[in-house]
Structure 1
């Protein structure tokens, strides 16, 4: 079976929201049998072997020019491997239930793991270089010095390295370790079927019903999600048990201080900064989520909220569906209002096949922006269903895309932004879109709906994600004591839900299984705090913007262009901000609190 060749002008034309765009993956490769793909796979195998033959055991003897050449050759290998896996991965996520696409993805992963196995020496040998020797080489060559952040990140892993043989062994095992369990989870979630009021739906469509105006529909969807997750809870618990055990083994062998340490290292963020964020948010639960949901219960005429009421629209909210063209116009206008350059950077996503927006059978749920490699462009995936939150999701993912385009000029090794900073442009794009809609509100009722929606989004981004983080911390700690039953994992989930959502909530039987469909726990352990980090950071940034900071736009674009070449302290300094100060997080949380104050005032 050949991979479909995607037409840049193709659309999913049967959508009730207008013609929804489909990816044109030919910008990567024309198909699974494309000669360019075979050429690149062959090149990768040869280039990796030649690189090892030329440099293994010899890095310490290289001069500055020789080390620069080695870095650039390694970067080219990384780019070609990234292009191949981007194509295979994006094809797979379009239809995870297609066995041909799943096989192609697995085969590419296995080939690249095998071909790049000779490169394992690279990080190990670099980290054996004497600090003073490496520093002298960097001082001698400005082009080499540009890669200092790459060396710094690699050398941060030095205390946790295993022997050369064990590192090679782990590399060879990788396709059958975490990634294999990730695929099992993805394929299971994509294959689930939910029947609500006689209609069979996938996970994305079923969870979207939790935002319907009709409370009986929301309840039916919540109970059906609980039923189906309950039927599959054993398998998902097996995935989590295995991955958390793998994490514990990795921690023990590498002597990581905590299960979170590798995430903090990859995010280039200090553990104490994350702890300050976590503590600031959890102490604010009563002022934020508890207070807001108590207000919302009154608006809905309820004494107690059920889980299917958490994201319910307000009674006065318009239930209309938003067409694709309107969503596109709203986001581009908001971006242009900040700076026309931002809208220009977003425009090709709509016109050149860089977005896949429709909800189709087997498609992975959720949304993401994938940067691919720096000589191509990012791709955005959505599951667009015409909800106001879908417009905000579009604004969010386009923010990522703009960020990734700007950072691409740093090159393959320096463009990748740590997760904590990767959420900056996405959340900022949401904020721009929200502020534009709020300014255009025709009356207090519409303003209230918009404000409430934004508060809920921020609670979902900050409070909910920190609760997720606490769930993961407790899950990994509990797993040290042995295999966890589904009921034990359910108990951990419920322990953080009540604390974060507040006393106005009652929890239906079955809600205890809702941890099972969250992909971040499987794909990216402890990723979730990055959302709260990004939201707090953007709230603080936006406050500076509203204060009329001179040259804000230019400084903002410079920050995005920096990609992964600078630490968060250096990036925020031009704005007078410092995330290592506890007061920084309070500043961000106070913006949410201010919006809740405004909503309370409207009720008085």
Structure 2
């Protein structure tokens, strides 16, 4: 259950924790939740009544008071919607849970409608007027990073009426289509050897040591997705068009530009990342998978062999207790403070680990709000990759915890490009510690290969996703895209990324349909590659640092959304705007592949 703490016991995995959401609210129908909902409603109305049309009249501390009141309402709304989202993620197929989530979205949308004026009127101030107010009030100066980021949207801001209309329509527009996607995916069952598996469980079978199991898993996954491809294609076409309409009204020239603006990163920086990775495909994924084909005794790899374990891999199940100690020990070796924060997630029921029917697939860390703490969702099945996923999501959790403790509701959120830094760094710490402790050459080869595959998945695969997504948005400008054409674009971008060593059966053209990022957050995916390359460069600095790196690193995490990427990376001598920056990060993957070639 999402609202209580309990243990899910598996004979091999051990006791898998379930999260306890009572730190947010006791229950969906609790007086505490209803009380916060009413307070948010009343305070939003009062804020609008007190300040609408008057922001330009406020000076210094008076404007600071208004921002503080606005932040308090945002904190309440964040707590309410975090609870609703996490409850829904625990079981997306339960009608009552879905009804609760939808009703909370509608309530939050209505309340937010009373708040829209606030940022619009702040943006109506001239730079000179706002700077003068910040200069005369230390309370307002505290919020300068938030004011700076709000005002980044000024060139693309619409009229008050249109902004309110867009907000109000979200619940029956993008929000409704996103919910349809989530509930459709959560309800799908994939038949395999007499069982009906969830998407998380069937995808796990693609890492089976049995080639026949992988083949059947790939076939049944692709074929079942194919049965629903018309629905998924309609959802994608609708949401891409919806985004294009809003982008046109706002004046964004490229589909990716609004995401880049939200990530506080320049179009040119993202373009450089994408170009560097695509140019490196032959030296990274193509080269590695040719090696893997040899190791598996094949001339070509079927798509279901992409995540196949190597012949030397003993496929040992990693119990939950071992996974926990592995990650926390790696964190502690880097920074005791980092491990101390990570320990809270295990001790205080902040993690939901077991697979369940209806549970959201994949993994995430939800920051909730600064007055509470993050929660981590996993679908833990005992593979080494699941240990890396735990390290990844716990890295997010530590980052979110520190930012929330130091920055407050308006400035804790980190741009997606930097949000992946702590997660990928946590993975790297865990991997490097495991590798350093391994003396058996065969096991080292397996570990290195696993890490290279993870990095290829994070960098190459995500940039391939980005290229696929960019092409869809471009083709949608000329009319609705047929499901068959979406499949063609998918295969083209996958072949480019993975190389000629792979063969793809017909059902693989449907695999695009399960990826939630295209639906939830358009153009999210490049942030993974951004974060991985950034961390590779950052880790190289750490290896050369004499002392003080861990303290600087935690300070960077605690900054939350208050600093842009150049400010955050400057203390480490790194600059993502440098054209050579990305090749430095990609170089680490190449070096790992160089080492693996010695085993050939």
**2:254 maps to 1:258:** yes
**2:564 maps to 1:577:** no
Distance between the aligned counterparts of 2:412 and 2:113, measured in 1? 24
Equivalent position of 2:343 in the other structure: 347
Equivalent position of 2:270 in the other structure: 274
Equivalent position of 2:528 in the other structure: 531
Deviations 1:565-598 (A, max 9, x none): 0010000000000000011101000000000000
* Higher mean displacement: 161-170 or 276-285: 161-170
**2:75 maps to 1:69:** no
Is contact 1:4-1:31 (8 Å) kept? Answer: no
Report deviation, 1:266.
0.8
Q: Which of 143, 150, 161 is the matching residue for 1:147?
A: 143
**2:277 maps to 1:288:** no
Q: 1:4 to 1:509 in 2, by over 3 A?
A: closer
TM-score by length of 1: 0.98
Distance between the aligned counterparts of 1:4 and 1:174, measured in 2? 26
Deviations 1:145-202 (A, max 9, x none): 1211111111111111111111111111111111111110000000001011222100
Distance between the aligned counterparts of 1:5 and 1:359, measured in 2? 16
Gaps of 5+ in 2: none
Report deviation, 1:380.
0.1
Equivalent position of 2:192 in the other structure: 196
Which stretches of structure 1, 4 residues or more, deviate above 4 A after TM superposition? none
Report deviation, 1:511.
0.4
Is contact 1:210-1:218 (8 Å) kept? Answer: yes
**2:442 maps to 1:445:** yes
Report deviation, 1:549.
4.3
* Local SS of the residue matching 2:175: helix
Equivalent position of 2:4 in the other structure: 6
* Higher mean displacement: 206-215 or 111-120: 111-120
Distance between the aligned counterparts of 2:268 and 2:99, measured in 1? 42
Report deviation, 1:285.
0.3
Distance between the aligned counterparts of 1:82 and 1:35, measured in 2? 17
Is contact 1:331-1:433 (8 Å) kept? Answer: yes
Equivalent position of 2:328 in the other structure: 332
**2:422 maps to 1:425:** yes
**2:543 maps to 1:553:** no
Equivalent position of 2:38 in the other structure: 42
Report deviation, 1:348.
1.1
**2:592 maps to 1:595:** yes
Matches within 5 A, 1:128-167: 128-167=124-163
Distance between the aligned counterparts of 1:13 and 1:554, measured in 2? 38
Report deviation, 1:257.
1.6
What is the number of equivalent residue pairs in this alignment? 599
* Local SS of the residue matching 1:183: helix
Is contact 2:7-2:18 (8 Å) kept? Answer: yes
Distance between the aligned counterparts of 2:180 and 2:2, measured in 1? 24
Deviations 1:335-354 (A, max 9, x none): 01111111100001111110
Equivalent position of 2:466 in the other structure: 469
User: Aligned-residue CA RMSD in angstroms?
Assistant: 0.9
Distance between the aligned counterparts of 1:13 and 1:295, measured in 2? 39
Is contact 1:15-1:358 (8 Å) kept? Answer: no
Distance between the aligned counterparts of 2:266 and 2:238, measured in 1? 28
Report deviation, 1:14.
4.3
Equivalent position of 1:370 in the other structure: 366
Q: Which of 185, 202, 221 is the matching residue for 1:225?
A: 221
Report deviation, 1:331.
0.4
Q: Which of 355, 360, 363 is the matching residue for 2:356?
A: 360
Matches within 5 A, 1:405-420: 405-408=401-404, 409-420=406-417
**2:364 maps to 1:387:** no
Is contact 1:367-1:393 (8 Å) kept? Answer: yes
Distance between the aligned counterparts of 2:423 and 2:155, measured in 1? 34
Deviations 1:247-291 (A, max 9, x none): 110111111121111100110000000001001100000000000
Equivalent position of 2:210 in the other structure: 214
Q: Which of 474, 478, 483 is the matching residue for 2:480?
A: 483
Distance between the aligned counterparts of 2:36 and 2:512, measured in 1? 40
Deviations 1:29-69 (A, max 9, x none): 00012111111011011000000000000001101001100
* Local SS of the residue matching 2:478: coil
